[in-house]
């Protein structure tokens, strides 16, 4: 064998070794899944749905090896892919959560109440998947729209079991959309989330111009985000 041939063979062997060493050796593992179907109810408008989804991932090749995340609903032939440059990484107590803050349906449709599969894919093409379901245990209709009562500046009717609603709160915002006041709220036995007049008055003292309400149902994974609503429309709150 000539020296030139030997050199070509050595270079070829070197590039093969380099190629294998650059590929990931381990598949990513999904240790936990967080998802929340967020139903946004604008003042006087049709509500929209967005899916917030993150996975707690463990990839021994390092976080830079994670390539993309895919969400599939096979029974409805739906699929979303978040590529590496769009993937959001959140560090919580040294743990890396990968995901996307708002998946949306085409044409602002509702998400099917069905089974979904989340797949984390590394740059070597290795995958790890986990499944979850959005059920129809909670239905939303006109009853969720706010109404005014004699004792409250505003009240919201929340469907489903009252005991399941967590993290309920009202927030007030100024013209710059900065939060100036927030207060935890409780759902009464009547299934109503009450917005007291005294809170509204305090917000006006802080130049609040808008309010929003938030509630999360732990059993269904559904969150309701109501607003923003104009405080000037709330009469009799002084």
Averaged pLDDT score across all residues of the chain: 78
Q: What percent of the chain has pLDDT over 90?
A: 28
Tell me what pLDDT residue 161 has.
75
φ, ψ at 74 (rounded to 5°): -65, -35
Query: How far are the Cα atoms of 71, 76, 146, 194, 195 from residue 151, in angstroms, in the given order?
Result: 45, 46, 14, 9, 9
Q: CATH 1.10.3680: does it fit domain 29-133?
A: no
Confidence of residue 236 (pLDDT cuts 50, 70, 90): very low
CA torsion angle 88 180 213 108 (round to 10): -40
The residue extents of the domains of the chain are: 29-133, 142-233
Peptide bond into 10 cis (omega under 30): no
At 131, is the pLDDT very low, low, confident or very high (cuts 50, 70, 90)? very high
**For residue 70, what pLDDT is reported?**
97
* 142-233 CATH pick, 2.60.40, 2.40.230, 1.10.1060, 3.40.720: 2.60.40
């Amino acid at each position: 064998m000539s020296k030139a041939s030997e050199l070509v063979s050595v270079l070829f062997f070197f590039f093969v070794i380099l190629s294998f060493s650059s590929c990931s050796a381990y598949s990513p593992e999904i240790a936990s899944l967080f998802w929340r179907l967020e139903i946004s109810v604008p003042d006087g408008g049709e509500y929209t749905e967005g899916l917030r989804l993150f996975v707690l991932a463990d990839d021994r090749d390092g976080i830079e090896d994670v390539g993309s995340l895919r969400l599939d609903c096979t029974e409805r032939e739906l699929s979303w892919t978040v590529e590496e440059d769009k993937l959001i990484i959140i560090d919580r107590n040294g743990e890396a959560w990968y995901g996307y803050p708002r998946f949306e349906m085409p044409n602002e449709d509702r998400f099917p109440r069905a089974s979904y599969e989340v797949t984390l894919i590394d740059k070597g093409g290795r995958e790890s998947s986990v499944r979850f379901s959005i059920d129809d245990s909670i239905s939303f209709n006109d009853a969720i729209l706010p109404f005014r009562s004699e004792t409250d500046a505003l009240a919201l009717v929340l469907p489903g079991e009252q005991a399941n609603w967590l993290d309920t709160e009202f927030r007030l915002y100024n013209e710059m959309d900065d939060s100036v006041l927030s207060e935890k709220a409780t759902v009464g036995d009547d299934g109503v989330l009450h917005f007291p007049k005294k809170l509204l008055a305090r917000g006006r003292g802080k130049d609040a111009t808008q309010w929003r309400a938030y509630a999360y149902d732990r059993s269904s994974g559904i969150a309701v985000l109501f607003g923003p609503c104009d405080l000037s429309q709330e009469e009799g709150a002084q």
